[in-house]
Amino acid sequence: MKRVGSTSMLLAFRAENTRSFRDELDFSLEATALAEPGVPREIPWRAGGHPLRLLPAAGLFGANASGKTNLLKALDDLRGHILHSFRAGSPSRRIQRSPFRLDAAVDDSTRFEIDLILDGVRHEYGVRLDDHRVIEEWAYRYPRGRAALLFRRDGDDVELGASNRAKGRATTEVMRPNALFLSAAAAAGHPDLLPIYEWFEGNLLLAEASSRTHRWAFTAQLLHHPETRDLMLSLIRAADLGITDVKTRPLDPQVVERLRRIVEILHGQDEEPEGAGIEIKITELGITLSHRAAGDDVDFDVKDESLGTLVWLGLIGPVVDALARGSVLLADELEASLHPVLVARLVGLFQDPESNPHNAQLIFSSHDVPLLGGAESDRVLGRDQIWFTEKLPDGSTRLYPLSDLGPRKEEAIGRRYLAGRYGAAPIVSHEEFTEIAKHIAESGRG
């Protein structure tokens, strides 16, 4: 397989005692023997070694409130700790985290670990922390296949790797108990650790309902820019929304500044201000959409558009950015208010090496069963790109891949998922809903 694009990709993520994950979650984007031909990317990970086969997309499926969103948010939580713990913190500031809250007996610390390929070298980073301090923290790289220590921290004690020790010692001088060594090292310009920090700075953009306003601003900024306008317009037209053109008008300098701040916040280069965040209305974005009509096209203000159109506008900015930069996009409820065919085409942009030459990755949650596919010929995702979340009786989440269940090549995965053959489906009582219906009917008669 021809190697194309970036040699930096996300390999795996593990965490424990975070959000609905009481026990360890173990999520991997390494391809298996079940991978679809032409989908995995061959990425070098050490000098002289065979490349790893990594996946450009993965979908999370499961019942409502089973924990799909929490996996995406856990990744975003780690990103927030790395980007902001030293820069925006203070010696007395509480560490913001979301431990599992339904079991008082759980160890009160939270652990995150991530495996990355950065410029063709495998890196591992991990941290364990509680509300007040970093308990453990470590980073390794594998330039020749064996682990080379970058640093290992145990409370206030730090063991440094063999290279750039002067920078490491300078970092220990400014390190705080409640801030990550990695964050402080990046501020000091540590050459071995800066690439890990910079990866987080450019990756793991979370597209969720609460960020839609910010994502509209991101899309509008790209539409205003001559270099990205045509590509954005192509995606809008390709969605068959009846839109033929997007007209832009000059923006007030204050709006331009707010747009700039919002995009920096999305990319983790700035923090959302505490209290009242930076607000911007869709009507302030300086765009008007032209719709196909019987005669001349008709212009519509964006506030008059359908929810599906607004959802698409909020997605295409981050999608174009991820594909252009080769970054990782996290998308919660990817199918929300979008037609299944449109969602499949969007996933296909990441799956296809021609539209994704820089090896961007998409990790998304969804209830869209057509994405699971029926027969082998109509699959959007390969069998090793499908993950399930299941809520256990104690309220915690179990994460597991479809590949662990040994699905056959010809298996109708969508139909079997709906039938509950893989678990991860809601257990809905017909009798309870029938009883509720009776109560509603009786209250209506009263």
- pLDDT of amino acid 69: 96
Nearest of 9, 61, 430 to residue 199 by alpha carbon? 9
The whole-angstrom separation of Cα 248 and Cα 289 is 9
Helix axes 307-325, 226-238, angle to 10 degrees: 130
Please write down the HEC assignment for all residues of 95-154. CCCCCCCCCCCCCCCEEEEEEEEECCEEEEEEEEECCCCEEEEEEEEECCCCCEEEEEEE
Q: CATH top-level class for 1-204+327-446?
A: alpha beta
Rounded to the nearest 5°, which phi and psi values hold at 275?
80, -125
Rounded to the nearest 5°, which phi and psi values hold at 437?
-60, -40
CB 308 within 8 A of CB 339: yes
DSSP letter for each residue of 164-193: -HHHHHHHHHH--TTS-HHHHHHHTT-TTT
CB 388 within 8 A of CB 402: yes
- pLDDT of amino acid 424: 79
Look at the block and give the residue holding tokens 């053109």: 245
- pTM of the predicted model as reported, rounded to 2 decimal places: 0.93
Nearest of 299, 318, 315 to residue 307 by alpha carbon? 315
* Cα 168 → chain centroid: 31
Nearest of 292, 298, 305, 312 to residue 236 by alpha carbon? 312
Q: What is the pLDDT of residues 427-444, one digit of tens each?
A: 655 566 567 666 666 766
Q: String of b and e for 63-97 (b: at least 16 CB within 10 Å)?
A: beebbbbbbbbbbbbbbbbbbbbbeebeeeeebeb
What is the residue-level pLDDT of the chain in tens, covering all 446 positions? 333 457 899 999 999 999 999 999 999 999 999 999 999 999 999 988 899 999 999 999 999 999 999 999 999 999 999 999 998 767 888 999 999 999 887 778 999 999 999 999 999 999 999 999 999 999 999 999 999 999 999 999 999 999 999 999 999 999 999 999 999 999 999 999 999 999 999 999 999 988 888 899 899 989 999 999 999 999 999 998 899 999 999 988 888 888 888 888 877 777 776 655 677 888 888 899 999 888 788 998 888 898 899 999 999 999 999 999 999 999 999 988 888 889 999 999 999 999 999 999 999 999 998 898 766 567 899 999 999 999 999 999 999 999 999 999 888 898 899 888 898 776 655 566 567 666 666 766 65
Q: Helix, strand, or coil here: 366?
A: strand
DSSP-assigned beta bridge partners for residue 19: none
Provide CATH 3.40.50 ranges for the chain.
1-204+327-446
The whole-angstrom separation of Cα 246 and Cα 223 is 8
The whole-angstrom separation of Cα 436 and Cα 418 is 24
